[in-house]
Structure 1
Amino acid sequence: METTVKNSSSDGEWKVVLPSKGRQGRRRKPKPKGQAEEEEQPWKSDDLEIDPQRQARLKQKMEISLKKIESSSFYTTFLEQLKSPEVSNQIRLVLGSETQLQMVMYGIGSIESYESPRFQLSIAILMKREFDWVGDNIEVFDPVLSATESSYLESLGCSVLSVNEQARREALKPTLFFMPHCEANLYSNLLQANWRMDRLSKIALFGNSFQMYEEQVSFDAEVICATKRIIAAQRVTSEFAIETESDDYFAAFHDSSWHFFSSGIDSELPLFVSD
């Protein structure tokens, strides 16, 4: 089920997406009855054959996307925000005594089939080139990835995870979770796995605006369950919304924000949130 929330900053609509619904670039097969929805499981692509011709076409598509993003005013604004004192100071706090953030990309979707996932991947690759605080190895996972896509990602220096972590990775070191337009339950899983300030403070999260989740009103039990930990985390979240200046990049990045976590005198992490 999807709940639509009016977006005050654009002409589009904002939706809470739950795992029962597919989205562009994220086609999923129905799970067998009784299979745990949130369980971490070893993963192999359903498409096991690496097709050199498809890979060559994918390379061409990605080169076009990279050039388009890199030369855009959207990317210029994106970089300016990351280099601003407000955001760069937050990144330094996440780094602590470390020099790099491990980048983990969940829910990238099919980079072969859709332009939006290619734009999202392009931003991640360009960030790695631009900032020395982005780790050398980008870890990537989406259950829709084909063997051809996985092979191409590895040629870019990425590592495709062999386990579906369901976004439940503990941030034992400074980590940048790159999750634009993921399903609400994945953000909730990430927060639950790190529900203590010494873990949350090691996270930089790029994904759906938490503020939008807080502003939405729903009486649907499934939506409430998927978003209540996100809303609870707002007490310790500093959010910086990105600007989507062009319609070309709206589908890939609308209502996306940077999120950082720290407690203060008037804001503490709730000790208990029922799941």
Structure 2
Amino acid sequence: MSGCSETTKFQVVSRKKRHGRKQHLDHSLDLSKKSNQPEINIDHLVQKITDAVVTIKNSPYKKILLKGLKDSLKTLNVDVVPIIVCYGLGNFSENKCAQYQLAALLTMQSLYESKVHIYDPVFYSKEIEVLKKFGLLIIDNNEVGIRKSGDNLTLFYMPHCFKGLVANVIYANWQIDLLNNCILLTNSFNEMADDVVTDDKQVKDSVELIKKIHPFTTEFVLDESFDNAPDAFHCTSIHVFSMDKLSMVPGDFWKPLIAPPFNQNEIDHEKRQD
């Protein structure tokens, strides 16, 4: 049975207040722990995101996004997306592009009735409340992209995300069966593979891993034109790893990778030393 339909529906989830201490995300960069958070009107932000979903629904970009998803699933011979994992959305209470990126996420959630897991260390506590109202599941620690697809097809949604996180997702799924169960909706691999002008070792390692898998990737370029926020989906593509292409890799291709290209602990350690 296909989970895909042309009707886009979503529902704001009403939640009872829980007594007791709130659970915060455990990470050194987690802004939800800080006391100097901006004033956020939750109802106003919910309405703003709801309006953004309607804008996406009525825009030409919706057709572009849905066609890219349809073509991607056809390449993998599947018709549903049971799980979506979103990293790096940013502070959508302050950023217009992030609001429309979230609206696109909610559109996909509704389309496939997907279970959506989301994390960004910069989320404010009230942004987290808003995400929960839309039925999204908050990841309780910073995985830094280290999550396996397992037996379920997983769409990793990382709009304009740091190359290290994209490479870490690839690292975590570095075997044929796992990558075949991954869809990466993020910056174009074609763009990232050309971007190597840096002295940062982690960025270089990340780009090298993306370049390594790039020849065996099928990329569906999404039209970047979205009038309401031109930068929201700039240079964004859907990437899939079909069994046909993965079966063409050299014999020693899948040898275990020593470590993830991007190591947040190293960066945190350097910051503590400064």
Length-normalised TM-score, structure 2: 0.74
| Structure 2: runs of 5+ lacking an equivalent | 1-24, 262-274
Match of 2:228, SS state, is helix
Contact 1:112 1:149 in 2 (8 A): yes
Identify which of 118, 122, 133 aligns with 1:155. Answer: 133
- In the alignment, which residue of structure 2 is the partner of 1:204? 183
How far is the alpha carbon of 1:103 from its aligned partner?
0.6
| Structure 2 CA distance for partners of 1:48 and 1:71, relative to 1, 3 Å | farther
Instruction: Quote the residue 1:224 is aligned against.
Output: 204
Deviates more, 1:142-151 or 1:74-83: 74-83
- Preserved CA contact (<8 Å) 1:47 1:147: no
Give the C-alpha shift of residue 60 in structure 1.
2.1
Larger relative strand fraction: 1
- 1:171 is displaced (CA, Å) by 1.3
For residues 216 and 147 of structure 1, do their structure 2 counterparts lie closer, same or farther at Cα, with a shift above 3 Å needed? Answer: closer
The answer to whether structure 1 residue 122 and structure 2 residue 96 are counterparts is: no
Conserved 8 A contact 1:50-1:148: no
CA shift digits 1:220-245 (9 cap, x unpaired): 34332231111111132111110022
CA separation of 1:241/1:217 partners in 2, compared to 1, >3 Å: closer, same or farther? same
8 Å Cα contact 2:97/2:232 also seen in 1: yes
- Show the counterpart of 1:260: 240
Give the secondary-structure state (helix, strand or coil) at the position aligned to 2:77.
helix
Given the alignment of the two structures, is residue 143 of structure 1 paired with residue 121 of structure 2, yes or no?
yes
Could you tell me whether the CA contact under 8 Å between 1:49 and 1:147 is conserved in 2? Answer: no
Aligned to 2:55: 68
Q: Are residues 1:166 and 2:151 paired?
A: no
Distance, in Å, in 2 between the alignment partners of 1:254 and 1:53 is 28
**Structure 1 stretches of 5 or more lacking a match?**
1-40
Q: How many residues align?
A: 226
Distance 2:142 2:40 in 1: 28
Deviations 1:146-173 (A, max 9, x none): 1111111111110111111001001112
Alignment match, 1:233: 213
What is the CA–CA distance in structure 2 between the aligned matches of 1:224 and 1:49, rounded to whole Å? 35
Over aligned residues, Cα RMSD in angstroms?
Answer: 2.6
Shift in CA distance, 154/221, structure 1 to aligned 2, threshold 3 Å: closer
Correspondent of 1:104 among 67, 85, 95: 85
Q: Counterpart in 2 of 1:270?
A: 253
In the TM superposition, residue 75 of structure 1 has moved relative to its aligned partner by 1.5
Partner of 2:77: 92
Instruction: Tell me how far apart the structure 2 counterparts of residues 238 and 166 of structure 1 sit (CA, whole Å).
Output: 24
Percent of residue pairs identical: 26
Contact 1:232 1:270 in 2 (8 A): no
1-side partners of 2:154 and 2:35: how far apart?
30
